[in-house]
Amino acid sequence: MMNKQISLADIEAARERLVGVALRTPLIRLNVEDAPAEIYLKLENLQPIGSFKLRGAGNAMALAAPDKLRHGVVTASAGNMAQGVAWCARRLGLPCTVFVPDHAPQTKLDAIARLGGVVKKVTFDEWWQIIVSHEVDHLGLFIHPVSETAVIAGNGTIGLEILEELPDVDAVITPYGGGGLTSGVASAIRARKPDTRLFAAEVATAAPLAPSLAAGSPQEVVYQPSFVDGIGGKSVLSEMWPLVSSLVDGSLVVELEAVAAALRLLLERNRVLAEGAGATPVAAALAGLAGSGKVVCVVSGGNLDSSKLIKILAGELP
């Protein structure tokens, strides 16, 4: 389980551990002249696994005691954390098992297998129960994809890089799945530049954070699977609620059509391939939901099935 706060020292130490594991990714301007803000893209889709998850997985495994790793590692993931854990496990010569929901995209499943991970498919409800309970009937060290302190601190290194590249940033938007990315980035930025506006971005078909913030407590929503498979859930994880609710200025909810349009725009204007989760902050920024000024969107990943990409480029929703 996680601590209530992630310290700047934790995040700075994580950055040292991640040298040679995770890349320092570029921060570039979105080539849209008439946007409501000066929008920048933090390109985590350029990590070796195509996702920011390498940072949290790498830090958690670097901190794990050798005797805890002797049977290998286990995680539960829709695909990107699975790749992060599998990539690090292969680097360390360890076996890796991944529990995935039955709607996990083939692109991510193929990548897990390519990295040497063993895939165990379960129903979404069974998968969500693993996320909630932190328990799985399997040998190996379980690395939670969201709420471990080490995972969040690893994710927080993104925040350090954003501030070093763009010290006068006005707002940062992260996609919101379980809260590990949002909490990590926000923890780093709150520590260094506390007046920055910090937003989570959710897709309307799976957006538990927005109603939770409105109600002042975790709320459940109806989860509808979509091509935006890397974020969204049935509820805000109870162990994440105190941290997330204390860090963010709000949740920006966008429709699937807006995410698809942002995904097309990223390819057309910047030649950036984002998956649905990675395009969601951009959709929110383009709608003006984060206000004006300098707005950084964390493009969290780029692992999108080719068949879905083709439909989106044709103006359809997969």
For residues 238 and 242, what is the distance between their CA atoms, to the nearest angstrom? 8
For residues 176 and 148, what is the distance between their CA atoms, to the nearest angstrom? 16
Return the amino acid letter for 78.
A
The SS3 call for residue 254 is strand
Which residues are known catalytic residues?
A: 53, 300
Q: In sequence order, what E strands does the chain have?
A: 27-29, 38-43, 73-76, 96-101, 118-122, 141-142, 171-175, 197-203, 250-254, 294-299
Q: Cβ neighbours of residue 171 under 8 Å, at least 6 residues apart? A: 37, 196, 197, 198, 199, 290, 291, 293, 294, 295, 296
For residues 98 and 279, what is the distance between their CA atoms, to the nearest angstrom? 25
